[in-house]
């Protein structure tokens, strides 16, 4: 055995490297999770539009609009919550070997806010129809 193995230094370096890789995997998983929540919000918007399309001809049109509005409000909550949680996770971690998108937090919030305004606009359109 060599002296460098006896003092435990290579083991410590290997452990630190594995920890760095785990943190990189966490960052990449955070980006995938954000994308999943955005897709969930968009599906919620689609459900709201579908509900209005299917039940919009009822005599009580306000019921279809109100139900669709609940789904739209849920979508807005999903978008903003996803950005908030992904931002919190990103702030707690640092990258080591993986390349993440530059200005990720800014783009994430920009996307969440844009989709929220778009969802609100869909709600206005559904109430005007």
Average pLDDT, the chain: 82
Our measurement of the distance from residue 47's CA atom to the centroid of its chain's CA atoms, rounded to an integer in Å, reads: 19
Rounded to an integer, the average pLDDT of 63-74 is 93
Lowest mean pLDDT across 13-22, 50-59, 62-71, 79-88: 13-22
Task: Count the residues in the chain.
Answer: 129
CA distances from 36 to 43, 68, 79, 81, 83 (A): 11, 22, 10, 12, 12
**pLDDT score recorded for residue 1:** 43
pLDDT in tens, 24-60: 777 778 888 999 999 999 999 999 999 988 887 888 8
User: 4-25: per-residue pLDDT in tens?
Assistant: 455 556 766 666 666 666 777 7
Q: How many CB atoms lie within 10 A of CB 38?
A: 20
pTM listed for this prediction: 0.76
């Amino acid at each position: 055995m060599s002296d460098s193995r006896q003092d435990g230094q290579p083991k410590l370096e290997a452990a630190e490297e594995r920890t760095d890789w785990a943190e990189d995997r966490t960052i990449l998983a955070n980006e995938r999770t954000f994308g999943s929540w955005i897709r969930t919000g968009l599906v919620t918007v689609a459900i709201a539009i579908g509900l209005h399309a299917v039940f919009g001809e009822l005599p009580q049109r306000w019921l279809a609009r109100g139900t669709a509005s609940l789904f739209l409000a849920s979508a807005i909550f999903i978008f903003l919550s996803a950005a908030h949680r992904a931002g919190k996770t990103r702030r707690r971690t640092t990258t080591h070997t993986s390349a993440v998108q530059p200005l990720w937090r800014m783009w994430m919030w920009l996307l969440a806010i844009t989709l929220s305004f778009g969802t609100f606009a869909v709600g206005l359109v559904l109430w005007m129809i």
